[in-house]
Amino acid sequence: MKSILIGAICAVIVALGAYAVLDGSLQRSAEQRFTTEGVRL
Mean pLDDT along residues 14-19? 92
Domain containing 27 equals 11-36
Question: Stretch 6-35: mean pLDDT, rounded?
Answer: 84
Mean residue pLDDT of the chain comes to: 82
pLDDT of 28 higher than 80? no
In a domain, 1, yes or no: no
Residue 2 belongs to some domain of the structure: no
Residue 3 inside a domain? The answer is no
31 contacts 41 by C-beta, under 8 angstroms: yes
Tell me whether residue 19 is in a domain.
yes
6 domain-assigned: no
Count of structural domains, the chain: 1
Is residue 41 assigned to a domain?
no
- Over residues 5-26, the mean pLDDT reads 89
CB within 8 A of 31, min separation 6: which ones? 41
